[in-house]
Amino acid sequence: MKLRQWLAPVAALALVVVALAGCGGKGGSGGGANEIVVGVYGSMTGNDATFGQSTKGGVEVALADLVEQAGGKIGGLPVRLVVEDDQGKAEEAATAAQKLINQDQVVALLGEVASSRSLAAAPICQAAGVPMISPSSTNPKVTQVGDRIFRMCFLDDFQGLTMARFAVQNLGLKKVAILKDVKSDYSVGLAQYFTDEFVKLGGTIVVEQAYTAGDQDFSAQLTAIKSKNPDAIFIPGYYTEVGLIARTARQQGLTVPLLGGDGWESEKLIEIGQDAINGAYYSNHWALDMPDTNLQAFLTKYHAKYNSDPDAIGGLAYDAARVLFAAMQKMAAEEPTVFAGLGSAKAGTPERKAALDRLRDLIAATRDYAGVTGSITLDANRNASKPAVVIEIKGGKKVYNTTIHP
């Protein structure tokens, strides 16, 4: 499905400019005739801004691949991105989805990272018949919204099981405390899945404490946790609070391991947590030092473009965009008449509906796609079954520890 057409550097640069013209904030107009408009939404600003920025970066590298391989076009139509910032707020995610669908007339949405925000946008996409691929929302409820909603990552039930088994079988833990974000679907769900498996394996949850995203003081919760003398603390939250929690825990003399999930994945985690985050473990979608050729090739391209290493969020977004582009390329090659509805027909027309229906079918048919975050096969519920990697933070660096398979 890949065209081996190489462009001269000047022509390639011009096409990149055209393809990216719609990117950024509230800019961009409605989808014009004879182009394909793809929406990207996430927390470009706000409390967990690295999530949105990594998503955008991963998608832009995928578009750069398309420029290199096919002049930035699918079926002869240029692909344009429109990026919306939801500021890390569920209500803004819903607004972004409405704007991208109704004003920009996108043919698909890529996003969100946080499950709460995906759950806010997904019903809007489902009602409009527009496919949405979440790169990294792990709450099982996300794809249960409907048949237009997909994801590229493992689910929280498996992620919770992974960390519970790692805690018992690899670390020998028997008593664990939980500190969760009670306003986050992701955090509450992951805490429950961890608890169910940990108890099943003979462990005990000695205490549960709660916080809310944006909190700065965790002293009371950690004092209550310390009084129960746990072997470890499971913190299924996002990196912003986790780093602060780690520092407060160490200040209070809590030296037990901290455990978490993929919400920890950000370059900012160690910057915020500093030395206090050393000795912690979390489940993730990859490790940068894994010897996978697809992964290493992506890391090289990403670093060349942004002069930094991507996190797993960026890798999942890259895979999401590539899966979307592959489905479009297949339609363009095999059903060009139907494909034309993506680029020339306005929203609400029979031609656009037929094209979106077929795009949904082709995304759903993804099997054994060689992604940078692992082989991707979507099941009947539009979820990817993939292994999880456990990362250990050692000496201020993220180090691969082990892989746990479904």
The string of pLDDT tens digits covering residues 243-287 is 999 999 999 999 999 999 999 999 899 999 999 999 999 999 999
Please tell me the distance from the alpha carbon of residue 285 to that of residue 273, in angstroms, as a whole number: 21
Residue whose C-alpha is closest to residue 283's, from 109, 130, 401, 114: 401
Q: Measured between alpha carbons, how far is residue 28 from residues 125, 128, 317 in Å?
A: 19, 20, 21
* pLDDT level of residue 23 (50, 70, 90 thresholds): very low
Strand 258-260, strand 374-376: pairing: unpaired
CA 304 to chain CA centroid, nearest Å: 22
pLDDT at 33: 61
- What is the average pLDDT across 102-128? 97
The beta strands (E) that lie in 212-267 are given as: 232-234, 258-260
* pLDDT level of residue 337 (50, 70, 90 thresholds): very high
Tokens of 369: 């796609």
pLDDT at 56 > cutoff 80: yes
pLDDT at 30: 55
Angle between helices 49-70 and 293-306 (to 10 degrees): 100
pLDDT at 40: 98
> Per CATH, which fold does 156-284 belong to?
Rossmann fold (3.40.50)
Please tell me the distance from the alpha carbon of residue 25 to that of residue 376, in angstroms, as a whole number: 30
> Per CATH, which fold does 9-154+292-386 belong to?
Rossmann fold (3.40.50)
- Counted residue by residue, the chain has a size of 406
pLDDT at 348: 85
Tokens of 296: 């290493």
Please tell me the distance from the alpha carbon of residue 263 to that of residue 245, in angstroms, as a whole number: 14
DSSP string, 271-335: HHHGGGGTT-EEEES--TT---HHHHHHHHHHHHHHSS---HHHHHHHHHHHHHHHHHHHHHHH-
CATH 3.40.50.2300 residue spans of the chain: 9-154+292-386, 156-284
pLDDT at 19 > cutoff 90: no
- Indicate yes or no: pTM above 0.75: yes
pLDDT at 117: 97
Tokens of 268: 């900012």
* pLDDT level of residue 386 (50, 70, 90 thresholds): confident
Please tell me the distance from the alpha carbon of residue 164 to that of residue 200, in angstroms, as a whole number: 9
pLDDT at 291: 80
pLDDT at 12: 38
